[in-house]
A and B are shown apart, each in its own frame.
Chain A
Amino acid sequence: GAGVSQSPSNKVTEKGKDVELRCDPISGHTALYWYRQSLGQGLEFLIYFQGNSAPDKSGLPSDRFSAERTGGSVSTLTIQRTQQEDSAVYLCASSLVGSTEAFFGQGTRLTVV
């Protein structure tokens, strides 16, 4: 596709369940970012992948959160034992290294009930 694709667009899950969110970046983009946006708030950085380098995980809020990027392309953000405070929109972005622009996907709206 032409842009960053995220799936699912919406996810409702029960507290305590695990969820996986997927991001398919723009082809050729080596940098990939995950952000979280709570209702009415700014974007909170979660994790950053750049090529084959070790990811920058400094934004992950707890050890229930993890992410991987396979083959330098698709990324999966996993939240284990979801809590109600995990409810938010999870945004993925990709860019070329050194690019002045990061392209965002439409996000996954996660609701934990």
Chain B
Amino acid sequence: AQKITQTQPGMFVQEKEAVTLDCTYDTSDPSYGLFWYKQPSSGEMIFLIYQGSYDQQNATEGRYSLNFQKARKSANLVISASQLGDSAMYFCAMREGRIGRALTFGSGTRLQVQP
């Protein structure tokens, strides 16, 4: 079974609008972390935001927020006030367990911001 599922291969959004990128996960470990990375066409992986499984509040980082719904096992990324520079691939990832382990990545969503 897929550990991380991103069901939207591509998304379009108008500049200045908000957009939600979906991510669902599957784990039986009570301790885990959820990550979002951005990969522009240059290929680098840029860390955006992190949510721990025990965190009570949804994570926020500037224009990025993570809509964490633990019971539904979803960790959607919300980008507010989209900018042209937000056009990129976005990957959701999970790390299971307390001690550092490898991240498992989803297949990604390509976001295109239109002027």
User: Which residues of A does B touch, CB under 8 Å?
Assistant: 31, 33, 35, 41-45, 48, 50, 56, 59, 89, 91, 93, 95-104, 106-107
Is A98 touching B45 in the complex (CB atoms < 8 A)? no
Size of the B side of the interface (Cβ < 8 Å), in residues, is 22
Given contacts A43-B91, A100-B33, A101-B50, contact A106 B44 (CB under 8 A): yes
CB distance from B63 to the nearest CB of A (A): 18
Q: Give 21 A-B contacts (CB < 8 Å), ordered by A residue.
A: A31-B100, A33-B103, A35-B105, A41-B107, A42-B106, A42-B108, A43-B103, A45-B103, A45-B105, A48-B102, A50-B99, A56-B101, A89-B43, A93-B45, A98-B98, A100-B50, A101-B35, A101-B50, A104-B45, A107-B43, A107-B44
A91 touches B45 (CB 8 A): yes
Q: Which 5 A-B pairs have the closest CB atoms?
A: A104-B45, A100-B50, A43-B105, A48-B102, A42-B107
Cα distance A102–B103 in the bound complex, in angstroms: 9
Which B residues fall within an 8 A CB radius of A?
Answer: 33, 35, 37, 43-45, 47, 50, 52, 91, 93, 98-108
Kindly list chain B residues whose C-beta atoms are within 8 Å of the C-beta of A35.
105
A43 and B108 CA atoms in complex are apart in Å by 9
Nearest Cβ distance between residue A37 and chain B, in whole angstroms? 9
Chain A residues within an 8 Å CB radius of B106 = 42
Which residues of B sit under 8 angstroms from A89, Cβ to Cβ?
Answer: 43
Q: In the complex, A42 Cα to B99 Cα: how many Å?
A: 24
Most buried by A among B44, B50, B93, B100: B100
Question: What distance in Å separates the Cβ of A52 from its nearest Cβ neighbour in chain B?
Answer: 14
